[in-house]
Amino acid sequence: MILVFGGNGQLGQELTRASAARATPLVGLCHAEADIADHGAVSSAINRHGPSLVVNAAAYTKVDLAETEIEVVRQANEVGPAAIADACAAAGVPLIHISTDYVFDGSKRGPYVEGDPIAPINNYGRSKAAGERAVREKTSLHVIIRTSWVYGEFGQNFLKTMLRLAATRDELRVVADQRGCPTSTSDLAGAILRIAPQLLGGGKIWGTYHFVGAGVTTWHEFASRIVAAQAPLTGRAPRVTAITTAEFPTPARRPMNSELDCSLFERVFGFRGRPWTEETDRITRALASAAVKREPHVA
Ligand SMILES: NC(=O)c1ccc[n+]([C@@H]2O[C@H](COP(=O)([O-])OP(=O)(O)OC[C@H]3O[C@@H](n4cnc5c(N)ncnc54)[C@H](OP(=O)(O)O)[C@@H]3O)[C@@H](O)[C@H]2O)c1
């Protein structure tokens, strides 16, 4: 059985759905059921459920608010992973911990590999880097998966924001000078469930990996793809205007280049992420057609 912390997040909910489709036993615990920063709550959840594998999908992910909510962020992204890794080590259970492209500063010209030096430029990235360190220190039976630009049908994400704005605005102004790899939660959840048996099979494949959707893009191109995919269903075709990061100041700085190289993951586990374009089209159509069914007068 797989035990998931952060069961109510975008990835957590997708893991629940994907495990049901594959008949893989999985229990997801939401924040109210287990605060990962509470060592006792984490240990007792692991002892109660007796999992063969733990997945930490819990995190504080509001990148701009993370600049000021320093202690809440530290509890979720550093103290929490440390508590989970500690409890996993005590129980002899392997851990998959999810991390982020934002541990890098974005100054590299090409895609980042796992061994590149980390140098986060915002507090979210610093807290996630500290979480990675804690996991490595506390348990050798870990796989850390760095992913990026996560979107899907559940929770809050960029794709859903673009759909909401496309429904009411005639122009969307979107940053075109940050590069990265959109990753669907269904692709990521599928990857986690696919590698689980390999981890439990005793292969010496512990360590840090990058896993993202195939292809690299900008937020502007990502938004344009979303708008184009929803237009035939909603009848809405707002203009998508490219702007610079300087024209859209945010409390937290973002890396200009977030591209992650996934060849190590592919070599070890034998597969790679699906193209972001296909996943974006599929998920946009699913969400847009559900919205049109709910509110047919909008189309
Ligand atoms: N979203 C992205 O674009 C992105 C990019 C790169 C990497 N990642 C990583 O991918 C993983 C999954 O992210 P996601 O997008 O699924 O995040 P999400 O939708 O924000 O979900 C995170 C979940 O963690 C829960 N949580 C927060 N603090 C907690 C605590 N102290 N104890 C227990 N649960 C807590 C939240 O519950 P409440 O809301 O109730 O607090 C929420 O349900 C995270 O590790 C994230 O850092 C995400």
Catalytic residue flag (residue 124): yes
Q: How far is the CA of 153 from the centre of ligand 1 (A)?
A: 15
Q: What residues line ligand 1, using a CB cutoff of 6 Å?
A: 5-6, 8-11, 31, 35-37, 57-61, 75-76, 80, 98, 100, 128, 147-150, 155
Active-site choice (102, 112, 124, 209): 124
Q: How far is the CA of 58 from the centre of ligand 1 (A)?
A: 4
Q: How confident is the model over 194-240, as pLDDT tens digits? A: 999 999 887 779 999 999 999 999 999 999 999 999 999 999 999 99
Q: Whose CA is nearest to atom 44 of ligand 1?
A: 59
Residue-level pLDDT at 299: 42
Residue 296 has pLDDT above 80, yes or no: no
Q: How far is the CA of 31 from the centre of ligand 1 (A)?
A: 10
Q: How confident is the model over 60-87, as pLDDT tens digits? A: 999 999 999 999 999 999 999 999 999 9
* Closest approach atom of ligand 1 to CA 76: 31
Q: Whose CA is nearest to atom 4 of ligand 1?
A: 150
Q: Whose CA is nearest to atom 2 of ligand 1?
A: 150
What pTM value is reported for the model? 0.96
Residue-level pLDDT at 297: 54
Instruction: Report the residue among 5, 122, 148, 150 best suited for mutation to probe ligand 1: largest number of ligand atoms under 8 A from its CB.
Output: 150
Q: How far is the CA of 61 from the centre of ligand 1 (A)?
A: 5
Q: How far is the CA of 38 from the centre of ligand 1 (A)?
A: 16
Q: Are 236 and 295 in contact (CB under 8 A)?
A: no
Residue 298 has pLDDT above 70, yes or no: no
Query: Exposed, middle or buried: residue 47 (CB in 10 Å: 0-12, 13-18, 19+)?
Result: exposed
Helix 158-168 × helix 219-234 angle, to 10°:
50
Q: How confident is the model over 154-164, as pLDDT tens digits? A: 999 999 999 99
The residue-averaged pLDDT of 239-251 equals: 96
Instruction: Report the residue among 4, 5, 11 best suited for mutation to probe ligand 1: largest number of ligand atoms under 8 A from its CB.
Output: 11
Q: How confident is the model over 131-141, as pLDDT tens digits? A: 999 999 999 99
Sequential DSSP letters for 121-132: -SHHHHHHHHHH
The pair of three-digit structure tokens given for residue 152, joined into one six-digit string: 């899907």
Q: Are 86 and 140 in contact (CB under 8 A)?
A: no
Q: How confident is the model over 91-122, as pLDDT tens digits? A: 999 999 999 999 999 999 999 999 999 999 99
Please report, for residues 47, 187, 220, 234, 245, the alpha-carbon distance to residue 284 in angstroms, rounded to integers and kept in the order given.
40, 15, 16, 11, 25
